Structure 1
């Protein structure tokens, strides 16, 4: 029954060694007999050779290679279009997977009860490095205990309840598209059109996030995270500036009609190097890092960022936020570079020692 209900679409580009590792892990999973489609975005490396190595090992594997690189965001929507099963799981090519506890996820899929099955919470991991941090499962247990209910065995929750618990972390979690399995019919014609319209903002799948909030979707949180999110490989060519990234996120957040949830989304921005997700700190730091690292088009991206902040916060508040960002911008790049390099070197040392 699982094989009839769940379809995996693996999107990949130019990461043959990571793809090999991912397919090895999926081969040892309960999902290996599901339909698996690999969407190769015209990779110039050995991706096709890796795919062919696994064709006979997965009984329902299909390999599709695009004639040209259509871009990562367009490939996400191509994955959405490809699936024909009741549930879809869009799989990344460079993450790690833990399939030691999957019975509850399989049961959730086969029940067909849920709109979304959350199998990873990268913002609130199950085993955080900081013991004082609380994982999403711990927060759910606490909520259920306070309410005096017994929902811990099913881990069921509605979207708006989950936002009340997670605040802005909910939106950043959902941006990690490999971290959940969704009901395929969520992406109807209107959703697909809005998804393609939002490609310039980097988050074509934000339409699913928006629909989850608007329709208060029914969610199941897995007992254990199946996906362990990894950073993109350092050799990836990443041409976007941080200011452009946040500009895209804030423009995407304009989809949310409810002012309460839209405010939670736009005022909470993730930056792994900071202990806060307050946008009044994250955005200035993004400008500093862009200037320190010599990223292109900072000025144009800053103008666009200021424009979307006016849309979110109104003219008066928008004016003062804009003034703050402009003051940060006019500081010479050399000053930020001298401040940034020691912090960057420390982060690299930490990564080496892990």
Structure 2
């Protein structure tokens, strides 16, 4: 038998079909050509220049809203979308966030809960990257408890008037449309808000120590007037935003493993060339133990992600199952990044290598779309039948 491939020691690729591998190759090649030569500089500068140009390119390769059907979307499988997230986050978490927010949050909300007019107006332009979307749920004082949101929408004649603030919004200051969730007299509702509406502003958040190559903003809604048909007609209550978050969490299950893979591969390659005490450090038992443990957790995570992806494609994935994946992938990815850094020693903090950038980014990924504590409680409730959130 041939020697094992250190990049795929369990033969994960054997579980994919030709179309899966073709999608992965397309995304990986684009990232290697358009992102990897520049990402360290973007991160250090704290910006992602030419976001709109990148969005159009991502639309051109079918990456935006790729798991949705119709309206210019690619209609890819959940597994293929997961593989795309893996490759995007292997480049940078900020890049995967751009795609996730566009497709799994803003586009999914309109696709799943919007009117036909809303879908026809926004989805083809968002799928092509001509229009960028953002998703306004988190508030300055309400992150894990969205039921307590203060943003409110009130009727004035046939119109809606929105007031409030949203925080930590990816794509906010470059978006053409925001899906904003607000309290109404009939519970939480979603609104499709053009960002050129009077009273809407999205100041960018600066001085970040994580996701530096990503646009992060606050949304300010100061008596924003919307027509009556701006509301998402097909959903009331938190079921709407939580369904979108479940889609985004699924992407993170795969994406965080992409960051982990990037760190592990950097550490493995470094261990074969860095010499101490007269030989490569990869020849020492302690280094091999670190590499073995990291490879074990990465590949276990990939198998779980594939299992969840196939359940998504079959329509049998439960939100609690996605919580298993999100909790595991991000927690293990952070541990892999941290251990990889130790193999590189002082070189591990240099942007010549991707490890410190991934380590910092993953601290944000750990928190958004549900903190570890929230996912532990979701799983705990599934195991015991007891709600421990309050």
Question: Please, what TM-score do these two structures have when normalized by structure 1?
Answer: 0.27
Question: Please, what TM-score do these two structures have when normalized by structure 2?
Answer: 0.25
